[in-house]
Amino acid sequence: MANWETLKLEQDEETKGVYTLTLNRPKSMNALNTRMAEELVACLKDLKEQKDLRVLVVTGSGEKSFCVGADLKERNGMTNEDWRRQHDIFEEAYGLLRDFPFPVIAAVNGYALGGGMEMVLSCDLRIFAEHAKVGVPEVKIGIIPGVGGTQLLPRSIPVGLAKEILFRGNQVPAERAQEIGLANYVVPSEQLTAKVLEVARDIGKNAPLSLKALKHSINNGLQTDINTALNIELDQYYKCANSEDRLEGIRAFNEKRQPEWQGK
């Protein structure tokens, strides 16, 4: 694996298919600067090619912050042209995260604000430490979310609640996030890693083609009419049904053993 300046990448020793990507700028509360965005693009592209990968966990270093969004110190004094060039890199990074072929879990270990919350929303599952807070405060500095916040948030929770969060720009504590459906789990901070790995390892044991097909079917079918969505599902179903892994799954069930997935 590459050595990153602003990221850490680790492979789980127990379940090799589980990788953890850590945003690693703790002195800046893991704020997203140009270098981190560039490294995210490169890292996510590399991870897509890892043949043993099944689940990706995204988190922040330390216990204070997941990511507080764009590094406003870096942005201070930027020309409009420079801002646009930087934002193009941000868009590519977030697009790669949203479209990542395997399940992605956000381990929200602290503040996730602005682009940090948009990164959380770009993940498939969200597990919060009980002290974590999320929010999209862009309205307070004269802009709006620009890497998915206005679209992902109302697709995750009721539209009225999403609009309130966006219009007010206030922080949402973990308990409230779970109440409205933003968080899958909320746990004490010292239990966050264990809970995330429990879920990730459970997912990582399953058939890789099935995981990819599930994510593709859900993400591509959710916003279409039901007949189109069912056709998307059926197409993915037959990709799995015609695979060698489907035969292995049936054999393993009948032989009362764990399947040995080949991903084909």
* Catalytic residue IDs: 118, 138
Dist CA 87 CA 15 (whole Å): 35
H-helix or E-strand containing 232? helix 226-241
DSSP states of 151-215 as a string?
Answer: HHHHHHS-HHHHHHHHHH---EEHHHHHHTTS-SEEE-GGGHHHHHHHHHHHHHTS-HHHHHHHH
Nearest CA among 66, 59, 49 for reference residue 9: 59
Is the distance from CB of 97 to CB of 123 less than 8 angstroms? yes
How many C-beta atoms surround the C-beta of residue 183 within 10 A?
24
Question: Hey, what are 237's tokens?
Answer: 């179903």
Q: Exposure string (b/e) for 109-124, b if CB count within 10 Å is 16 or more?
A: bbbbbbbbbbbbbbbb
Taking a C-beta distance cutoff of 8 angstroms, is the pair 57, 105 a contact? yes
Query: Of 166, 158, 110, whose CA–CA distance to 136 is shortest?
Result: 166
Burial of 250 per CB tally in 10 Å (0-12, 13-18, 19+): exposed
SS3 87: helix
